[in-house]
A = this chain, B = another copy of it.
Amino acid sequence: MALRHLISPLDLTEEETTRILDLADRIGTHKEAYAHLAEGKQLATLFYEPSTRTRLSFESAMLSLGGQTLGFAGAEQSSATKGETVADTVRVVSCYADIIAMRHPKEGAPLCASMYATIPVINAGDGGHYHPTQTLIDLLTIRQRKGRLDHLTVGFCGDLKFGRTVHSLVNSLVRYPGNEFYFISPEELRIPDYMIERTLKPSHSTYREVSDLEETLPKLDVLYMTRVQKERFFNEEDYIRLKDTYILNKEKLELAPSDMPVLHPLPRVDEISVDVDSDPRAAYFQQVQNGKYVRMALILALLEITDPLTGEKVL
């Protein structure tokens, strides 16, 4: 079998995605069966920009499979400061480790890495580009909450212009039949034209761009919140005027269906009020837990380790 990497969520077919999500579910319910499968294997976490949550999740995933980890947590710790190319770095790390998780501020760096590595590379986020493990986490959480990934009305709220996780999840959801989208954002942070032209129109998806969260909430099966960053606005008045509109709190949540999960890729600042945390619809910490299981599943899949519960390889 050829060496597999995961650079974009669409590197996996729908069927392969289903197999990864199924495995993540099995890992969550049968942890012991998977606790020693990666013994003697090493994951290198090459993080050219800090991302504690993602790095710790990958490390915890590898350790929970019985494997080991090594790596760096920021560019200042890497050989990049000595002018080394990403290509050389991954060739070197291929001599040390068995699989790489790479985070890089430059779009395309993990793809470039995968061309030179002799071990599998997982993209752990590259600039505004891809973050495929987050997309798998989002899919798994929606599937656990709603029982399906098709015929859903999904609302995305907040910064839809720069929100990499939003674009990535939309790209995956249009592959399933019958999904409809509400894009809820201020004018300044609307979903980019290229998402409309290259993803939504070609897939004949039904979508609406709206600006009012409260009005939209009753119509949704799933709500995906994102952070509205102050620095995205031209002036502070606009920011202050707009940000409250896109904050979800207990009061607004009363307008939503009782089985509408609220997702958020975290970290949040104040776009979801803490009084929502205890609501059963809050799904963002479940996403965190799923993050570990999805990454365990991916490591097993790319290392071509047989799943002991099915007796088969995953991919």
Contacts and interface: CB of A to CB of B under 8 A. Distances in A.
B84 A268 contact: yes
Interface string A54-79: 00110110011000111111101111
Contact of A82 (B69, B88, B267): B267
Contact of A72 (B52, B76, B87): B52
Contact of A95 (B40, B72, B292): B292
Which residue, of A50, A51, A95, A291, has the highest number of chain B Cβ atoms within 10 A?
A95
Contacts of A4: none
Contacts of A82: 267, 269
Contacts of A72: 52, 56, 73
A83 interface: yes
Interface string A142-179: 00000000000000000000000000000000000000
Contact of A60 (B57, B84, B91, B97): B97
Nearest to A92: B288
A233 interface: no
A3 interface: no
A185 B168 CA distance: 52
A46 to B, nearest CB: 9
Interface of A: 35, 40, 42, 44, 50-53, 56-57, 59-60, 63-64, 68-74, 76-79, 81-84, 87-89, 91-93, 95-97, 266-269, 274, 285, 288-289, 291-292
9 contacts: A42-B64, A52-B72, A52-B89, A59-B70, A59-B96, A63-B68, A82-B267, A88-B268, A95-B291
